[in-house]
A and B are shown apart, each in its own frame.
Chain A
Amino acid sequence: MVLEAEKKGKKKTIYTPDMATITEISDLTPTEKQFTIQIDDQETREAFRFQPGQFVELTVFGLGEAPFSIPSSPNNRESFELCVRDIGNVSNALHKMAPGSKVGIRGPYGNGYFPHEKMKGNNVVIIAGGIGMAPVRSLLKYILEDRQSYKDFSLIYGCVDPANILYKDEMQQLKQRDDIEIKMTVDNPDADWKEAVGVCTNLIGDLKYSPEDTFIVVCGPPIMYKFVILELDDRSYKPENIFLSLERRMECGVGKCNHCHIGNKLVCVDGPVFSLWEIRNLKEAI
């Protein structure tokens, strides 16, 4: 029974972030910035592949870690983007950073992502509210990069003010295309606003797709889910073909800290994207 002496080992664990550099920062709105992030180590960078809807844990060293979904296209292998609202400790610090700053990245995480394979050959509708645009933009880009694999494609995007609209220029460009229909709405229009006014729920009625071959993706604040779901139900869209991305306090991202659990599901491991069917069978999900 000779036992080994005390040991202190250092290695890469599930909590160890990879070093990454912020290569570009741009203002999206008065409260949101876009950060382009490149993982430093080439091998790690090449191994970093994500699915639309997945997220990363970003560390500002000395300050903390927070989860952010990835709004850029999975096809871009060199770097990825994050859209960050200046609202918590980590995001406040990020907003003060300059290009060239170092951050830590863990991920990508989440086994539940937008099931783009299943969507192929079907109509796809994306309904986004406010910063809910960030998680779905990855899917939006991914579908547009392989547009012929899908049938009709629509985006409904609602914001409080025109100033809050994310990726404004990109939206304008997309409007020129004839293979995607874009409908935008705001609660408080300004004098220049020419599109719809009110909540995005109002625009669902204009959709002319049959529930048989239509997938719907929804991301926005909890209150939006309640009303969008009522509207989708009225039009008999299938709960198993409706996907929602849920927000929770995901501190570890690897199913251990438990802050994101809803019943027997963990948002970080089993989500963050769930079908409406799954959510209906989970108390307190929305």
Chain B
Amino acid sequence: MSDSVLSIRNLQVSIQSRDGSMNEITRDVSLELKEHEFVSIVGPSGSGKTTLLRAASGLRPPSGGEVIFDQKPINDVPKGLAIVFQEYNKSLFPWLTIGKNVAMGAAEYSNQERAERVEKALIQVGLSGFATRYPWELSGGMQQRAALARAMVSNPRLLMMDEPFASVDALTRNHLEDVVQRLWDSSTFAALMVTHDVGEAVYLSDRVLVLSARPSTVLAEIKIDLARPRSQIETRRTGRFGELVAEVLERVEEAGRASVGIEDTIQK
């Protein structure tokens, strides 16, 4: 247990709706994330993936259960945990240059060290030379890379990502997946990613957890035994990749079918 970076134990999250009634989003989710492990959580839409991630990162208090990061229970976003959000255009501060946005992640260092770290992080994501630009001067993919640089600048032990590539086009998505893979390969952080893209989850992860519809529980855990480093073309060409995608997809479909009734009531 000592080599686990994050353990989520029987996490339960209920959100109060406008009329005052409690909505149970997450019923019972447990997971252990080991040192330098890449785990993805997939689930049908509306299964409360983002809520789960917000509770797991300390951004919102859970209604039950606990989250242990680095041996300590968390009640706030702890040091050493970085988060990349889906909407880069709402997560990067538009009034700051890219360099200053990235420097936000390294506030605790001296001026000189911060400048060096920002420089290094920008090189890692292929954005050196863009430090003085504003976010709106960059394409969507570049903005998300800047957000990644901001997350990496403090050498986190754990990187959480909430549908990090959902707001960009397919080719940019492939490219960003490889940026993340390269960062992960060349570093020691563990990663927890929430996504609805099964191919992406299989491509990047060591394990994929399938969430049920809400109130969500962990429905299945699939080990991804694909060789690393992976490549968009070679890895996706292998039969094993297809099998794993199909396997995860099957479980997600099951979860989705079970939820159709619930989904309808939520919509109304």
A and B pair up: no
